Structure 1
Amino acid sequence: MEIHQLLYFVAVAETGGFSRAAQRCAVSQPSLSQQIIKLEHELGQSLFERLGRTIRLTTAGQALLPQAQQLLAQWRSIKQHVSDSVEQHVCRLALGIIPTIAQHFFPHGSAAFQQHYPRTTLTIVEHTTSQLLIQLIDYSLDLIIASAPIEHPLLQIESLFHEPLLVALPTTHAYAQRSALQLNDLYHMPLLALHDDHCLSQQVDAFCYEQHLEPQIVGRFTNLATIQRCVAAGLGMAFVPQSLAQTEPHPNVVYRRLVEAQPHRRIVAAWHHQRPPSNSVLALLKTNLVQSQKAEIKSQNS
């Protein structure tokens, strides 16, 4: 027994005919009649007496009608409750975000999301991309915000925005007075970088390879704050996200663009293809987490 069969049965009983019931249910009359027949076979009882062009309920049909009407009323109530809950963002959302984004992008976006959707329970997990992907694939997370490339047959990806990478130098460096740098300026500079399991490190390595740069890596670290302090101490240069220079610049560090080739990273959202974003997830992507940072990056580029 299926809901649409009960819908058709009640429609026939209330309208008094198969043709009018089919119009009410927006289906063809043969389809509606076929489902009524299937329902009768399942119950082992005839539900209607067909007397020429008129029909009337059998004893079994009379017994079924109030029960079917009650079940349909409950079904509609359940549908409405679920719809209202989704519209009001009554749910749980587990979000994964990589450290180099979480530190500078997320606090404001998280606060804005909770302000607009206070009935959503938001859980945040900060980790490297590889670890977040594992949790996303096994359904421990609903969504991750990370840096491309992310490739997996079970995932769907949506680009959010591009963020430039800047060259961080100590204020005492000879190039600190320049407004921009050339690629040639970087050839013999010592490089400070994140560990290899960070996607930002992989992007910097790829950029250096593409531009035929062979920097001497003098240190790998777990976070950008340590890298900034090492740059300020004159231990080397580093490629850092523009958001770092915007939100947490170090007083003894300058941030410069490259002229010939501008490294950047693409920020994306990713989710399991069998669990597409709910309205709450889509709403999160529209909060200041993304939109405000887009505006800041655009203003910096203009």
Structure 2
Amino acid sequence: MTLRELQYLVELARLRNFRRAAEMCNVSQPTLSTQLRKLEESLGVQLIERSKRQVLLTPVGEEIVARAQKMLDEARDIRAIAERNRAPDTGRLRLGAFPTLGPYLLPALLPEIARKFPKLQLQLFEEKSETLLGLLRSGDLDAALLALPIEDPTLQTQPLFEEPFLLAVPQGHRLAHSGPLYLADLGAEEMMLLEDGHCLRDQAVSLCNRWGLDEIEGFRATSLETLRQMVAAGMGITLLPKLATEGPMAASAVMSLIPLADIPEPGRQIGMIWRRSSYMVPLLRQIAKITAQVAKTRLGQQSKSTT
């Protein structure tokens, strides 16, 4: 039994197709099939149910795939540990961020990381929060920027910064030229919100429920940019996280951004999350500190040391 044979088995279990699994492993389909039969012979059990229509794993095959994935993860970590020991600031960092944060923070963050760690290879993932958590748990991601709290005893959470929400209204709206206001001041106003699956939606719904605000019936935006364009078109009002309103996304001739005076200030806490067992923890703590400093600078907040 070799790690390569286990890799073939894991890829086949993931893709359920011999041809595609062979392509992912950079071998021919006959080679992959032969090696998997050798693995079955060496173990003395059938791992795969083969038919012309589909590929299924036997119960023992499913159990072995789960163990094989852990072995492959450990082998990958061993190679990475050795590489990082030779040069602590080199190697690859797989960093994730959710869609309502990544586009507005990463362009400012990545140059700072590159300046501090010029030999570090960054691989970025932009997915919804639940997907990022799954990738973290499976070992396919090293760290992720997520909205807190995250309840998982296998993951380490490092709080980074507080990001306030702003009320976005069309320039012709009755509140367009208001100073800071309270959510209670919105009265019977209805909010445009994101579709299900976005953590920002959950946070906005929580605020709406708290202050008796309603959501516009039958409307669910797929992105912050959709919400922004709908506000600019005069279709309604919404809440935007402050980082998404900086720079070229700031208030314009067709949209007004109004701070909220409620205490505590409506917003979200952003943190960096990684596996407690990760060998990269010392580096991740440094990346977390840089991230907090960059975000607080963009938000105009007083920077505090992140430990």
SS of alignment partner, residue 220 of structure 1: coil
Cα 1:82–1:139, aligned 2, differ >3 Å: closer, same or farther?
A: closer
Deviations 1:252-274 (A, max 9, x none): 11111222343110001111122
Q: CA deviation at 1:84?
A: 4.8
Equivalent residue number for residue 240 of structure 1: 240
Quick check: 2:189–2:214 contact (8 Å CA) kept in 1? no
Equivalent residue number for residue 253 of structure 1: 255
Out of 267, 284, 289, the residue aligned to residue 270 of structure 2 is 267
Q: For the residues of structure 1 that align with 2:127 and 2:83, how far apart are their CA atoms?
A: 35
Quick check: 1:155–1:273 contact (8 Å CA) kept in 2? yes
Equivalent residue number for residue 41 of structure 2: none
Q: For the residues of structure 2 that align with 1:83 and 1:211, how far apart are their CA atoms?
A: 53
Q: For the residues of structure 2 that align with 1:103 and 1:239, how far apart are their CA atoms?
A: 17
Quick check: 1:93–1:281 contact (8 Å CA) kept in 2? no
Quick check: 1:145–1:270 contact (8 Å CA) kept in 2? yes
Out of 286, 289, 293, the residue aligned to residue 289 of structure 2 is 286
Q: CA deviation at 1:228?
A: 0.5
Equivalent residue number for residue 57 of structure 1: none
Equivalent residue number for residue 20 of structure 1: none
Q: CA deviation at 1:276?
A: 5.3
Most deviating of 175-184 and 261-270: 175-184
Equivalent residue number for residue 102 of structure 2: 102
SS of alignment partner, residue 180 of structure 1: coil
CA RMSD across the alignment: 2.2
Q: For the residues of structure 1 that align with 2:279 and 2:187, how far apart are their CA atoms?
A: 45
Equivalent residue number for residue 143 of structure 1: 143
Q: CA deviation at 1:299?
A: 4.9
Q: CA deviation at 1:204?
A: 0.7
The within-5 A match list for 1:39-188 is: 83-86=85-88, 89-188=89-188
State the AA in 2 paired with 1:272: R
State the AA in 1 paired with 2:274: W
Quick check: 2:190–2:214 contact (8 Å CA) kept in 1? no
Aligned-residue sequence identity (percent) comes to 28
Q: For the residues of structure 2 that align with 1:189 and 1:118, how far apart are their CA atoms?
A: 49
- Note the residue ranges of structure 1 that are not aligned, 5 or more in a row: 1-78
- Note the residue ranges of structure 2 that are not aligned, 5 or more in a row: 1-80, 303-307
State the AA in 2 paired with 1:239: L
Q: For the residues of structure 1 that align with 2:115 and 2:147, how far apart are their CA atoms?
A: 26
Quick check: 1:94–1:122 contact (8 Å CA) kept in 2? yes
Q: For the residues of structure 2 that align with 1:218 and 1:175, how far apart are their CA atoms?
A: 24
Equivalent residue number for residue 54 of structure 1: none
Q: For the residues of structure 2 that align with 1:243 and 1:104, how far apart are their CA atoms?
A: 6
Q: For the residues of structure 1 that align with 2:190 and 2:301, how far apart are their CA atoms?
A: 31
Deviations 1:85-132 (A, max 9, x none): 11xx11211111111111110112112212321211110000000000
SS of alignment partner, residue 92 of structure 2: strand
Q: For the residues of structure 2 that align with 1:279 and 1:115, how far apart are their CA atoms?
A: 18
Q: CA deviation at 1:285?
A: 1.7
SS of alignment partner, residue 295 of structure 1: helix
Cα 1:219–1:105, aligned 2, differ >3 Å: closer, same or farther?
A: same
Q: CA deviation at 1:216?
A: 3.3
State the AA in 2 paired with 1:274: S
Q: For the residues of structure 1 that align with 2:87 and 2:287, how far apart are their CA atoms?
A: 16
Q: CA deviation at 1:186?
A: 2.1
Cα 1:185–1:242, aligned 2, differ >3 Å: closer, same or farther?
A: same
Quick check: 2:170–2:237 contact (8 Å CA) kept in 1? yes
Q: For the residues of structure 1 that align with 2:203 and 2:273, how far apart are their CA atoms?
A: 18
Deviations 1:53-94 (A, max 9, x none): xxxxxxxxxxxxxxxxxxxxxxxxxx99854511xx112111
Richer in strand (by share): 1
Cα 1:249–1:298, aligned 2, differ >3 Å: closer, same or farther?
A: closer
The within-5 A match list for 1:24-43 is: none
- TM-score (norm. length: structure 2): 0.66
State the AA in 2 paired with 1:284: I
Between Structure 1 and Structure 2, how many residues are aligned? 219
Runs of 4+ residues over 6 Å off in structure 1: none
Equivalent residue number for residue 70 of structure 2: none
Q: For the residues of structure 1 that align with 2:283 and 2:238, how far apart are their CA atoms?
A: 37
